[in-house]
Each structure stands twice: as C-alpha cells, then as structure tokens.
Amino acid sequence: MVVIGICRFRSPVVPAHARIVNWAFVLVQRSYDPLSRNARLAILWNGRVQVFSGRASSPDGRHPAQADKLVSVRRFAQRLAYYAGFIAGGLWFLVSSAIGVVSLLVVPRNRQTLYLFGLVFCRGLTRVMGWRMEVENRERLDSARPCVFIANHQSFLDVVTFGSVFPERTVSAGKREIGRIPVFGWFYRLSGNLVLDRGNPRDARDSLDAAARTIRDENVSVWFMPEGHRNLGPTLLPFKSGAFRLALAAKVPIVPVVAGPLDAIADTRERRARRGSLRMSVLEPIPTDPPPAGTLAELVASTRSRMQDELDRLRRER
C-alpha cells in the first residue's frame, strides 16, 4: 500500500468513520492507477470521504465529475510514483555503484560486473516500480554473442530498462562524460566499459581498435546506442558509425535491439510513472564475416531502416 497524498477536510461535517483525525490519507493498493480494479481509493468528495473499489462512481451515481476527479488523482499518483522511484532509485543506484567499485577493486575488470549490476539495480528497480520487460526473440541476446548490440535511445531510464535484460559478459560504450559521474563513473571505468571521446577522432579510433581486440581475445560483447542522444520522437535519429566499424573490425555480428515507446511505463516529460509492460524486440543478427556487400554508410542506413520499421510496429501494436 502506497501513500500518494494527503487531503484535509474543509467541511464542518465530518463523517463518523473519519472523526478520529481531521486528515484523510489517499491510499492506493497495488496500483498507481485508481481506476483499476485493484485500487482501493479514499478521497474527499464534497466534504465526505468516499471509498472506491473498481469502477468509478460518484456518491449520487453520476460518473463524469467523479471520473474527472479520479483522473486528477491518477495523474498525481503517477507523478508521485515517478519522484518516489527517482529518489529511491537514485539512492539504490549509488549504493549499487559503490558495491560495484569495491568488488572491482578486489577483482579488477570483471566482465560479469555489468550483468550483476543489471540483476541487482535494474531488475530490482523494475520490480519495485511494477515494470515488466517483454522481450521478443530474447534467446538472440545470448546465441549471437560475442557481438555488437545496438539499441535505440529514448531516455535516461534506458539504463534501467535495457540494463534489466543485459546479457552476460557484455560491456557498454558511452561518452567520456559518463566517467566523470561520482561513484558510478568510477564503477563504469573500472568495469572495462568503452569510453569514447567523440571530440577526439583519433582517440575514439584507438578505443575502437582496442575494443575489437578485447572482443576477440576475451569473448565479450559491446552495447551501443548509435543515435548518440536521447530521442522520444517516433523517428530514430541518424546513426553514428562507431558500432558498425567495431563490428567489422572484430568480425562479429551486429544485433539490433528495439524498445517500444517508453510511455507504456513512464512519461519523463510530465514526470509520471505507471505500472505496465515495455515491449522490446531483438532483431535477426547481421553477419560481418564476410563483410556485407556495399559501403559502411549503406550498412548503417539499412540497419537503421530495419530498426525504424520494428519501432513503428511496436508503436502500432501497443
């Protein structure tokens, strides 16, 4: 049961069952959505506490005004859930990162660290928030390794959603700025992730060459988000070519992973969270040994087109 708000009685007439105190707590049981059948909601209605179970109905049997109030309460509940999850998740994020730093000081560059981080932090947070990841063709996350994964980038919550399905022996590629984040940045660097300085093409190229050797020598995979920036729009941003260059250099397949619209579980613009399922799809691996016909630009464009088609399908079918 989650406390989602407090309202004070303004009416001089307080019903007998609420006379113990002059405050009523708005409660929701097992759901952020007070319109769901699992909700047990107590709100102030014209100076009285009205308890709802299941479908909305006003005290006099009329629905529209009651529904409007419940929609407002639902939005408030979702916003409170978002901030509660943000605060609790942030604290758990720091604790998990600190534990990761300590473990990596004991066992440096452990390639299983990010997978364990996903189990502890990401899956833990998704359970608390009531989020489920429904992954189509999930077996490809393991069968194609070692490989280069590429995924669409919608929000900072991608760390949680994709992290909850992160495969074993996989590292990620990120901007140099990630390494500067206190605690997590230390963890990110110590765990052997690929840190790219896009402002320095030579360093970025050297990092990709080193990553190709690591993939071959240590049998690890690398996770990229080739859009480079967060994008909640319906159209994928142009892809950067680093992930494709790495796959060609290491001679490993490219595995596209597409997450459906994030608003199935959260609206980061309006700061609202809700229980629900986020659909993902793992596409057919793209072999690079031998290299596919055509230029690098054509490989990037064709892969982006496949991922766009899949994103469009997930958006239509939600």
What are the pLDDT digits (tens) for 39-71? 334 333 333 333 333 444 444 454 566 667 777
Q: Which helix (H) or strand (E) holds 276?
A: strand 276-282
Closest CA to 81 of 277, 267, 262, 280: 267
Instruction: Calculate the average pLDDT of the chain.
Output: 81
Mean pLDDT throughout 103-129? Answer: 90
Q: Which helix (H) or strand (E) holds 23?
A: strand 23-28
The CATH classification number of 109-317 equals 3.40.1130.10
Neighbours of 290 (CB within 10 A): 7
Reply yes or no on whether the pLDDT at 282 is more than 70: yes
Give the three-state DSSP class for 143.
Answer: helix
Q: Is the peptide bond before 234 cis (omega within 30 degrees of 0)?
A: no
Q: Where are the domains of the chain?
A: 2-80, 109-317
Q: Which amino acid is at 153?
A: H
pLDDT of residue 65: 62
For residues 15 and 100, which has the higher predicted lDDT (pLDDT)?
Answer: 100
Cα 148 to Cα 167, 253, 282, 287, 296, distances in angstroms: 12, 6, 12, 10, 15
pLDDT of residue 88: 93
Dihedral angle computed from the Cα positions of residues 118, 223, 264 and 275, in that order, rounded to the nearest 10 degrees: 0
Closest CA to 154 of 272, 234, 243: 234
Pairing status of strand 148-151 against strand 254-259? parallel
CB 247 within 8 A of CB 147: yes
Q: Which helix (H) or strand (E) holds 172?
A: strand 170-175
Closest CA to 178 of 238, 249, 244, 228: 228
Q: Is the peptide bond before 64 cis (omega within 30 degrees of 0)?
A: no
Residues 6+ apart with CB under 8 A from 200: none
The whole-model pTM stands at 0.77
Band (pLDDT 50/70/90 cuts) for residue 8 is: very low
